[in-house]
C-alpha cells in the first residue's frame, strides 16, 4: 500500500549533496503522499520546519568515518557476523497461517473470503 521511491544503487556522493538541500514544501507534500497521509496546507509548513530540524540534527552522522565500513550489503546471508547487531534470519519456510476466516474478522469490512474496498478502477495513484 505504502509506496517507497527506493533506490539502493544510487550515486552516494550526489545523494549526500541532495540531502543537504533545504527541505521544501513541495518535498514535504511528496513525502506525505508517499506515506499515504493527508496533510493540510497549514500542516505542510509545520511539518517542514520540524522535519528540517530533525534532519539537520541527523547530519551529525557524517562526523563518523565510515568509508571502510560495510553497509546494508554486509547484512546479506553469509556475510561476517562479527559485528552484525542482528543475527542471521531463520530460513523462510511456510509455517502456521491464520486462515481466511480469522483474517476477515480482523478487517473493518469483509465479505466471506474477501476484504470489501471502495471502487478502485479509474483512480490514479492508488
Cβ proximity to other proteins, 42 vs 90, nearer residue: 90
Distance CA 6, CA 11 (A): 13
**Residue 94 corresponds to which cell in the numbers above?**
511456510
Radius of gyration of the chain (CA): 21
42, 64, 76, 111: residue in contact with other proteins (rule CB under 8 A): 64
The set of residues, in sequence order, having a beta carbon less than 8 Å from that of 75 and lying 6+ positions away, is: 84, 86
- Within 90-109, the residues that bind other proteins by CB under 8 A are 90, 92, 95-96, 98, 102-103, 105-109
CB 14, min distance to other proteins, A: 8
Residue 113 is a binding residue for other proteins (CB under 8 A): no
Q: Within positions 1 to 40, which residues make up the interface with other proteins, using CB under 8 A?
A: 1-2, 4-8, 10-12, 15-16, 18-19, 27-28, 31-32, 34-39
Round to the nearest angstrom and report the end-to-end CA distance of the chain.
8
Does 86 interact with other proteins (rule: CB under 8 A)?
yes
Decide: is 60 part of the binding site for other proteins (CB under 8 A). Answer: yes
Cell output for 54: 530533525
Q: How far is the CB of 3 from other proteins (least distance, A)?
A: 9
Nearest to 74 by CA among 86, 91, 65, 62: 86
Amino acid at each position: 500500500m505504502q509506496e517507497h521511491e527506493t533506490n539502493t544503487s544510487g550515486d552516494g556522493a550526489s545523494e549526500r549533496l541532495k540531502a543537504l538541500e533545504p527541505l521544501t514544501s513541495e518535498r514535504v507534500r511528496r513525502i506525505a503522499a508517499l506515506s499515504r497521509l493527508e496533510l493540510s496546507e497549514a500542516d505542510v509548513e509545520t511539518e517542514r520546519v520540524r522535519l528540517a530540524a530533525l534532519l539537520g540534527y541527523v547530519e551529525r552522522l557524517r562526523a563518523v568515518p565510515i568509508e571502510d565500513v560495510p553497509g546494508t550489503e554486509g547484512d546479506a546471508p553469509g556475510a561476517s557476523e562479527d559485528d552484525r547487531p542482528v543475527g542471521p534470519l531463520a530460513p523462510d519456510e511456510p509455517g502456521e497461517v491464520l486462515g481466511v476466516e480469522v483474517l476477515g474478522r480482523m478487517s473493518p469490512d469483509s465479505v466471506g473470503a474477501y476484504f470489501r474496498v471502495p471502487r478502485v478502477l479509474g483512480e490514479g495513484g492508488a
